[in-house]
Structure 1
């Protein structure tokens, strides 16, 4: 490991350059489909390292990027400075205040584990390996989203290094515009590098959750989707759910009940805090859809909530996009399922999230399209250009009811950032960007302009 002394700060930066031992390993993230080749990697261990790295880059007019776990990279990049924050992974729980302070590189699994002894839970997503800070800056659509809202709605404070190299402690009271912009626009816009978040926790110890899986070749995915959409009109706000369709390859490493199957499932999470305690009664209509391939619905400790979705925990190449919908056009979505099923020519994963509930409540942040009723996410594996040939016509089917896209689920969209936000939000984000990063130092991100 080399060290580089910044000319404006005597802090010694631990750095890697192309060809150095450990350079490629440092760049390896969860997303393996995009290549990052920065001229300099700063392996940050503290907020001071981040400050020094940003000032070093600003002095030399070098672009700056940041990587924690490498799940949601906008696309490939070359040159400039990349700050990796994986080593900044401290978690501090304040059980009396029901808050947690999270450093930039911490993953959700560690936060859940740290909060559990106090009967508290964060508003984490479905995968414990995802970086908590970047997830939250993009909004954060979690397991209990309809009951509690977006993770961004529960942020108390942020520590951030902006494009001028200044460390700032940001709250809604101290810097309302910057606070607003970072929460919803921070990961996409590139205003600065957030080194720590203070988030609110919720009093949840257990929940009713799991999935009902059907064989998509026996019970058509469109049949399940239509029944699911009708069911969502009857459920309380405290129940969060999603639909998924996944054609699994025939691989020995997979469980026998998944190997080579086209699995269509409905995933559910419900705390019962809304007074509807009987989870089995709430999901009874789903069990009537057809023969069930697997049923994992049960009461569980919150620490086991990651088993509801059982997201893959190994790095791989993927490309994806999303659409926030005013309503679910079931016919259009059924055609999308037909085009992305086992005969699509590439493995495609379709997920439909039920929105509404607390997600529709206004909040002092830039998370857009709160009026949306559903979010459709489509992931494809393999080549980026081949994936686009599947994604574009698929999402075109939903265009009449599409409000925009969700930044946390726009994997590799690059310049296609115009519909990540509505026009008024884009205009306000662009103004904050020009104030705190006038030199566009953080340009390895989505380009959001008025």
Structure 2
């Protein structure tokens, strides 16, 4: 392996074009702008951008990097982006968005660049439900390798529990098939380990039959936040696992697409989804609908294709700073602590402060073990801010304060997909000691040259 000097770097990188059958862009060249992620707050300045269209493009890039002393990372949408510097080649995989639905077996084979919306569009007409997160615009592979959670998490468990197979390029540039029976150690680690063990080029997933659901959101004025949050805490504790819910204190800016009753003010959104008996689901929601006078109520029987309407996450790129805490319980004191730092009169700069109820299928062991470590969590607190250049430090500090406010009830953990950062303490929040040990050991086995040792990986 040779390490390029500054003088030889550009010449060396140009030879990458001989190793892959796709467009390679260096800084300043057309196509390089494709490195800009959805989260535009992340500083992304890679050595080169490879616009991959095939697994062979990915494998060739990894082999080139191993030979010439670069690292490699991958991006599809960039929702969870962290900084990338000039020592790293970025594989931009968004063109690899093929999606094949096997209706009879209720499965999908999905490329590394596909978004959940691509899979929903192909599967939902058959009554099949791709188990996406709150936003269908997020990439499928990054969501699954980070064990993302969706609007039906209590009912169906982790979406990654429904993965059947991966195709992955490891640090040598070799493309491997990964299943519970074939390369089983990688199957364990790819579900939760993000890109620690390789770059996934395709994934095969199960598609439950869920043609429609009862769900949406009920919105209340921010002045009613205390009443609504305390009622939600009491009410949600008795819900069956066919029902899923979260509650969010929102301060949505007056932008196109934001409903007028919610724009430019503090509101509280009670998100709700249910499967099974819709009449019973409507009855169960009644106490929350009566907690205060709603500003809007969008809860109804909806086709699964409308699953993104429950959280109504933004689609357009924006700057984001996140923090997260997982809670073992939610007593009234925890709600009061949260209201004090994020409720009316708190001066909170955050766009969203959400509590999501977990439990149910989320808390039960899956058919195949994975690197996910937080099935004991009862609630997830997520803080999302949209910083401007002169407010980024304030937004980040306040997000930390929101998470600290519920520290007495926190497990100390975070999920792999939430609050991405280079904080050296973050792996100990995402993984327990045993999981970190095994992920690092597997990374050394499958990537001894440390070609993939960049970004949110465990080494």
C-alpha RMSD of the superposition: 2.0
Q: Show the counterpart of 2:201.
A: 195
Q: Show the counterpart of 2:3.
A: none
**Aligned equivalent of 2:210, options 204, 210, 215:** 204
SS in 1 for 2:209: coil
SS in 1 for 2:228: helix
Cα distance in 1, alignment partners of residues 314 and 379 from structure 2: 23
Taking a change above 3 Å as real, the CA distance of residues 427 and 311 of structure 1, as seen in their structure-2 partners, is same
Alignment of 1:90-129 (within 5 A): 90-129=98-137
Deviates more, 1:76-85 or 1:298-307: 76-85
Alignment of 1:290-301 (within 5 A): 290-301=292-303
Cα distance in 2, alignment partners of residues 314 and 378 from structure 1: 19
Cα distance in 2, alignment partners of residues 57 and 185 from structure 1: 21
Cα distance in 2, alignment partners of residues 114 and 391 from structure 1: 38
Deviates more, 1:135-144 or 1:341-350: 341-350
Q: Show the counterpart of 1:344.
A: 347
Alignment of 1:394-405 (within 5 A): 394-403=402-411, 404-405=413-414
Q: Show the counterpart of 1:178.
A: 186
* Conserved 8 A contact 1:31-1:315: yes
* Conserved 8 A contact 2:135-2:308: yes
Taking a change above 3 Å as real, the CA distance of residues 237 and 73 of structure 1, as seen in their structure-2 partners, is same
Q: Show the counterpart of 2:154.
A: 146
Taking a change above 3 Å as real, the CA distance of residues 314 and 251 of structure 1, as seen in their structure-2 partners, is closer
Q: Show the counterpart of 1:58.
A: 66
Question: TM-score, structure 1 length as denominator?
Answer: 0.93
Taking a change above 3 Å as real, the CA distance of residues 6 and 413 of structure 1, as seen in their structure-2 partners, is closer
Alignment of 1:172-321 (within 5 A): 172-187=180-195, 190-217=196-223, 219=224, 221-250=225-254, 254-272=258-276, 277-321=279-323
Alignment of 1:20-59 (within 5 A): 20-24=29-33, 26-59=34-67
Cα distance in 2, alignment partners of residues 130 and 251 from structure 1: 21
SS in 2 for 1:408: coil
Alignment of 1:77-88 (within 5 A): 77-88=85-96
Q: Show the counterpart of 1:353.
A: 356
Deviates more, 1:11-20 or 1:192-201: 11-20
Q: Cα distance, 1:271 vs. partner?
A: 1.2
Q: Residues 261-298 of structure 1: CA distance to partner in whole angstroms, max 9, x if unpaired?
A: 211011011111xx575221010110121111111110
Q: Cα distance, 1:312 vs. partner?
A: 0.8
Q: Cα distance, 1:198 vs. partner?
A: 0.2
Taking a change above 3 Å as real, the CA distance of residues 278 and 332 of structure 1, as seen in their structure-2 partners, is closer
Q: Cα distance, 1:437 vs. partner?
A: 1.7
* Conserved 8 A contact 2:249-2:352: yes
Q: Show the counterpart of 2:420.
A: 411
Cα distance in 2, alignment partners of residues 360 and 121 from structure 1: 21
Q: Cα distance, 1:417 vs. partner?
A: 2.5
* Conserved 8 A contact 2:20-2:61: no
Q: Cα distance, 1:446 vs. partner?
A: 2.2
* Conserved 8 A contact 1:121-1:201: yes
* Conserved 8 A contact 1:321-1:413: no
* Conserved 8 A contact 1:13-1:49: yes
Q: Cα distance, 1:410 vs. partner?
A: 1.4
* Conserved 8 A contact 2:16-2:24: no
Question: TM-score, structure 2 length as denominator?
Answer: 0.91
* Conserved 8 A contact 1:208-1:271: yes
Q: Cα distance, 1:83 vs. partner?
A: 0.4
Cα distance in 2, alignment partners of residues 169 and 323 from structure 1: 35
Q: Cα distance, 1:157 vs. partner?
A: 0.3
SS in 2 for 1:427: helix
Q: Residues 298-357 of structure 1: CA distance to partner in whole angstroms, max 9, x if unpaired?
A: 001111111111111111101101111111244234323332346536233111111001
**When the two structures are aligned, how many residues end up with a matched partner?**
440
* Conserved 8 A contact 1:68-1:104: yes
